[in-house]
Structure 1
Amino acid sequence: MKLSRRASWFLLAFGVWSWVIWVTFAKNLWKDGSGLAFDDAGNPTAYFWVHLALAVTSFILGTAVGVIGLRGVRANADK
């Protein structure tokens, strides 16, 4: 199955967006000062671990989608 040029660029853009959003989210989670991510002793809470797992999973899936888009863009460039 071949991806259209438009679909390939969309998937690549989604991969880049995923890098920007989820890396920023993880940085903000790490620096959380609201008391949700870390308890008073500075230990990570369940909130931290769940949201870190969500961020890492989304980052990995977004990267995979971006790679598929990049392959499609490269394949369409050969035409």
Structure 2
Amino acid sequence: MFLTAFGVWSWIIWITFAKNLWDSDRAWAADGSPTAYFIVHAVLTVVSFVLGTVIGVIGWRALRARRPQSA
């Protein structure tokens, strides 16, 4: 259950972070192009989404494997 909960929690946290990043004044240069700050944190966000998903799927599969199999 912990791994599944971690996967869900990760998505909740990083969606909020991504929205805040997008709206941040430090994310965009005066000409509208993304700054290094934005790029680094966008990569961090994507990696965290991927890891959260993988961990959540592992947890979900473990939960399903523990259920008694119907005959």
Instruction: Kindly state the Cα deviation for residue 36 of structure 1 after the two structures are TM-superposed.
Output: 1.1
* Larger relative helix fraction: 2
Which segments of structure 1 move beyond 4 Å, counting only runs of 4 or more?
none
Unmatched tracts of structure 2, length 5 or more: none
The 2-side partners of 1:40 and 1:64 are apart by 37
Where do 1:34-73 residues align within 5 Å? 35-73=25-63
1:13 corresponds to 2:42: no
Q: 3-state SS of the aligned residue for 1:36?
A: helix
Unaligned runs of 5+ in 1: 1-8
Report the counterpart of residue 22 of structure 2 in structure 1.
Answer: 30
- Give the Å deviation of 1:23: 1.2
Query: If the length of structure 2 is used for normalisation, what is the TM-score?
Result: 0.90
Kindly tell me the number of residue pairs found equivalent between the two proteins.
69
Cα distance in 2 for partners of 1:48, 1:14 equals: 25
Query: Aligned-residue CA RMSD in angstroms?
Result: 1.1
Q: Percent identity?
A: 59
CA distance in 2, matches of 1:54, 1:72: 27
- What is the CA–CA distance in structure 2 between the aligned matches of 1:78 and 1:28, rounded to whole Å? 43
| Aligned residue number for residue 76 of structure 1 | 66
Cα offset, 1:31, TM superposition: 1.4
